[in-house]
Amino acid sequence: MSGQPSELHLFVLWQKARRVEARILEDLGQQKDIEILGKWELAFSGPAAEAYPAFYGGKKPMDGPLKVRKCGGGPFLLIVVRNLNPTYGSRWARDEKYYIANELMYDLKVRYQEWAGRKHRVHGTTDAAEFARDIFILSGHTAEEWARGIPDDIRLNIPACAGWRLVMDDVGPGLGLADCRVLLENKYINDVFFEGRFHGRPAVVKCSSTCAWSINNEFRLASRLHAVAPSVVAEPLAVWTSDDGRRAFVVTEKVSGPSLTELLEQGVTAAQADGFAADILALAEALKETGILHRDVYTDNFLLGADGHLKVIDFQMSIDRNDYREDPWVAAHPKFLYVVFGVNHNTPCGCWDDRAALDAVLALLPATDAVARARRKLAAMPDIAFTARPPLGARLTLGAYAISLMIQSHVPWRSRKRRNQARKRLDTIRARGGTDVDGRDPEAVSAGKDAT
Ligand SMILES: Nc1ncnc2c1ncn2[C@@H]1O[C@H](COP(=O)(O)OP(=O)(O)O)[C@@H](O)[C@H]1O
Ligand SMILES: [Mg+2]
């Protein structure tokens, strides 16, 4: 392979590993394939016993107080490194299975854990996805931002779970909320989800300090859609915003059933498919009538209600086609919208075309007559009902990004993996819009279309 591939990784020395900090840094300095990008001392803002589970959240439940006893709750050290010539091989994982890991990172982590006296005192990332997740939580910056350079405002981004719990205790009862416990933590733009009861009804509370505006947006637009199509939209119940406008949560009825992703994995029957097709069509009609563009239509965002109807959730990124407004954080991170949504959903459309996204969902169902009819009906609905053109500024940003991806997809000094990643993203943008939402945009970035 030509050029010199590299990968970013990190180590965390929790407080009780810091007595061997100097030795670890010296050893890292001597590794010919490791370049230390920097080290930062960080401290938890709230109780460490709450912060640890938030950091490891989503992987497996953790006993916070035990972790504090083993690893310490005081200031800890983040070390970010570049691994040149990374190689992958199978390594032993906790659960008696082998997994494919970055070999050098894995081996160094094991060595430093031994030096620290206890395994859990040193954390290290062993693949790119783990780095991407951890670096965002530890530094408040994404892996892509790090790939461009070392950010100068590194701040711990562990969701203020403890803080949100205080908010729940403080304002929850006044709103009618009770028995809130954590459901999910560390989602990309939301801090934490609680499940609890709202005036006795099972409810989910979604809390954000990154995109507070979008939380209110979700409540506003979901309420409008729910009024028109109550059986296929999870009911929004309440919304709260802090006085400074930086934090907000929205309360929604808890939909009891599995997601459509899970249903498809289990196997959807023909009878179920017919019902789901009718639900999706009803949703399409409601979107058309209200002028709302959901923009995050994919199987994870449909949940099966106790009444047997599929209900759509997650209106954070939705827009009103007649009154286009964007969350300020999202507006400042257009890639999030165009690339993350487009690529991750893996549907033949960008986030600006609900009809294509709804059709992609229908296409995943068993192809019954009713499903085929629903697809024809959807196709016959007026074009304009389901798309919106992104504003010029956003299109230009995306165009510049597309050009940078084109360059990245060709230059030989990038690893093949990075080149392929860039190519895949580029294909997604080209095929699915963003710049070229409906294939008729005269200002579509021509370079992105012609140059390869
Ligand atoms: N009303 C709800 N009922 C049941 N589960 C929910 C509800 N809202 C959210 N969830 C759960 O939380 C997850 C994330 O919620 P979502 O609103 O889709 O936020 P995100 O933007 O993070 O995807 C969902 O995939 C689902 O598992
Ligand atoms: Mg979602």
Q: How far is residue 205's CA from residue 53's CA, in Å, rounded to a whole number? A: 19
Cβ partners under 8 Å of residue 61, min gap 6: 53
For the domain covering 260-385, report its CATH number: 1.10.510
Contact 223, 216 (CB under 8 A): no
Cβ partners under 8 Å of residue 412, min gap 6: 2, 3
Compute the distance from residue 200 Cα to the ligand 2 centre, in Å: 24
**Higher-confidence residue: 415 or 381?**
381
Contact 234, 255 (CB under 8 A): yes
Cβ partners under 8 Å of residue 309, min gap 6: 231, 232, 275, 279
Compute the distance from residue 245 Cα to the ligand 2 centre, in Å: 23
- pLDDT tens sequence across 30-74: 999 999 999 999 988 777 887 787 777 544 567 888 999 999 999
Q: How far is residue 207's CA from residue 189's CA, in Å, rounded to a whole number? A: 9
Among the bound ligands, the one closest to the CA of 296: 2
Q: How far is residue 319's CA from residue 40's CA, in Å, rounded to a whole number? A: 39
Q: Does domain 163-253 have CATH number 3.30.200.20?
A: yes
Neighbours of 314 (CB within 10 A): 20
Neighbours of 27 (CB within 10 A): 15
Using CB distances shorter than 6 Å, the residues near ligand 1 are 184, 187, 190, 193, 204, 206, 234, 252-255, 300-301, 303, 313-314, 316
**Higher-confidence residue: 403 or 215?**
215
3-state secondary structure of 439: coil
> Given a cut of 60, is residue 21 above it in pLDDT?
yes
Query: How is residue 234 annotated by DSSP?
Result: P
* CATH 3.30.200.20 boundaries in the chain: 163-253
* CATH 3.30.70.141 boundaries in the chain: 7-148
Compute the distance from residue 301 Cα to the ligand 2 centre, in Å: 5
Among the bound ligands, the one closest to the CA of 234: 1
Confidence at residue 414, expressed as pLDDT on a 0 to 100 scale: 62
* CATH 1.10.510 boundaries in the chain: 260-385
Share of the chain above pLDDT 90, in %: 50
DSSP 112-134: HHHHHSSGGGEEE--SHHHHHHH
- Which ligand 1 atom sits closest to the C-alpha of 234? 1
Confidence at residue 94, expressed as pLDDT on a 0 to 100 scale: 64
- pLDDT tens sequence across 93-150: 766 667 789 999 999 999 999 999 988 899 999 999 889 878 878 887 888 889 999 9
Among the bound ligands, the one closest to the CA of 316: 1
Confidence at residue 63, expressed as pLDDT on a 0 to 100 scale: 81
For the domain covering 7-148, report its CATH number: 3.30.70.141
pTM of the model: 0.64
Q: How far is residue 214's CA from residue 328's CA, in Å, rounded to a whole number? A: 9
Pocket test for ligand 1, best of 182, 206, 294, 337 (most atoms within 8 A of CB): 206
Confidence tier at 1 by pLDDT (50, 70, 90): very low
Compute the distance from residue 211 Cα to the ligand 1 centre, in Å: 16
The residue nearest atom 21 of ligand 1, judged by CA position, is: 314
